[in-house]
Structure formats: C-alpha cells, structure tokens
Amino acid sequence: DAKTTQPNSMESNEEEPVHLPCNHSTISGTDYIHWYRQLPSQGPEYVIHGLTSNVNNRMASLAIAEDRKSSTLILHRATLRDAAVYYCILRDVRGVGNDMRFGAGTRLTVKP
Amino acid sequence: ETGVTQTPRHLVMGMTNKKSLKCEQHLGHNAMYWYKQSAKKPLELMFVYNFKEQTENNSVPSRFSPECPNSSHLFLHLHTLQPEDSALYLCASSQDRRTGELFFGEGSRLTVL
C-alpha cells in the first residue's frame, strides 16, 4: 500500500501558482520524498525530490514540513501542459521493502 | 525520450497465448522495475531487479514471469493470462535500488481477450 495520501483532484487557472499537498505521516528518517507526474498517454516522469530542506529546480519547488509528515509541490505558474496526475512517493535510501509505491495521485486540471 | 524503451507498445493476446514484453534502458542504470497500471487504479509495483538480481516480487501471479539477463534489459513473459490482466505495463530504471530517480518508458498496452 502507498504510504502517502493526496487529494484526488485539483483545479488551477493558467499562469497561477499551484500548491499540491501530500501527507506522509508514517515517514521514516531514511525516506526521501519524491514527486512524479504522468501526462496523458505517457509514463510517469520525475519532477523533484527532497529529504528535509526545501528544494527548487526548473520544473517546480518542494516545500517539506519541519516534522516531514507532509510536503507540498509548488508549480509557480501553471501552464496547460502541466495538466497531469501528480504522484508523491517515498523512497527509502536503504533500498528496502515498502517504498516506491504509488498512490492514486492528484489529477491537476489547468483552465485557460 | 527518457532513455527507457518498451516494446511492443500495444499487444493483444488470447488467454492461451505466450508473449513477452521487452524493456531496454540506455542510461547505465543498475535497477529496473515493472509496474502495472490498470484503469482507475494506481500504479502497482510488480518486480524489482537490482544488479540483475530480483529483489522484490510483489505477490505477482506466476503467469507473469520476469527475466533480467543484464542490467540493460528486462523482460516480462506472459502466459495463460486472464482478461483482468489487461493493463498498461510500465518499465522503469534507476541508478540502483537505493538511489536516483525513476525513468519510465512509455508503457506496453496489453489487452487479453
């Protein structure tokens, strides 16, 4: 079973910021938080990951709560091409068992 | 282009057929994964190979048989499947089981008649 929970769907207007939340209350100290997205008719693609500190890359920002039990993926200016299902997953650096499980994700709709 | 190539992209087979799905990665990665994505369901992790050794089998029925002859190639052999096995089968790779993001192929869409 997935160790993360996300809202089923969210909507955003084009050119506006989007904050996609993820809860992972049972996260362990060796779990990295990874985000992927799946565009229609494609396999998932990597977006960003982090451990404790907030992270930025060209695609998005990742804000991690101080207790690490939740995180938020931030798309600074949503475009129509950002419409996708966004997945938050945990990846254990020890390479053991129950990580790498995808949940249902959040389906993001971007309105023009 | 993610560097992970899956063939065939579409496959239709009867319940008595034997077929195989192929995955190839050109990224120099050492871990490879099979995921199943059924309609209306999340991605399900099926198998994990790390340095050619199977490290996880997520309670997958024996009618699915994986093979990893080297770190660049991963196969999923299919035999006596059921209609409910119809799904998108996704292959992914990463640096190794512990590190690196996953790179996914575009998937093989399987229909079992």
3-state SS record for chain B:
CCCEEEECCEEEECCCCEEEEEEEECCCCCEEEEEEECCCCCCEEEEEEECCEEEEECCCCCCEEEEEEECCEEEEEEECCCHHHCEEEEEEEECCCCCCCCEECCCEEEEEC
Name the minimum distance, in Å, from the CA of A12 to any CA of chain B. 22
Residues of chain A with pLDDT under 50: none
Q: What is the percentage of chain B residues whose pLDDT exceeds 90? A: 81
Minimal Cβ distance to B106: which of A42, A94, A102? A42
Is A95's CB within 8 Å of B2's CB? Answer: no
pLDDT at site A93: 81
Q: What is the mean pLDDT of residues B80-85?
A: 94
Query: 3-class DSSP state for residue A74?
Result: strand
Name the minimum distance, in Å, from the CA of B47 to any CA of chain A. 11
In B, minimum Cα distance to A91 occurs at B98
Q: Which residues from B are below 8 Å from A35, CB to CB?
A: none
Minimal Cβ distance to B104: which of A44, A97, A103? A44
Give the containing element (helix H, strand E) for A60.
none
Which structure tokens are listed for A92?
């254990």
Residues 6+ positions from A81 with CB-CB distance below 8 Å: A39
Is B90's CB within 8 Å of A43's CB? Answer: yes
pLDDT at site B49: 94
Question: Chains A, B: CB contacts under 8 A, how many?
Answer: 49
Find, among B11, B6, B8, the residue nearest to B86 by Cα: B11
Q: Which residues from B are below 8 Å from A104, CB to CB?
A: 42
Is B48's CB within 8 Å of A92's CB? Answer: no
Q: How far is CA A82 from CA A37, A92, B80, B89, in A?
A: 9, 27, 39, 23
pLDDT at site A2: 57
Contact B19/B65 with Cβ under 8 angstroms? no
Average pLDDT, chain B: 93
* Cα radius of gyration rounded to whole Å, chain A: 13
pLDDT at site A1: 53
Amino acid, res. B6: Q
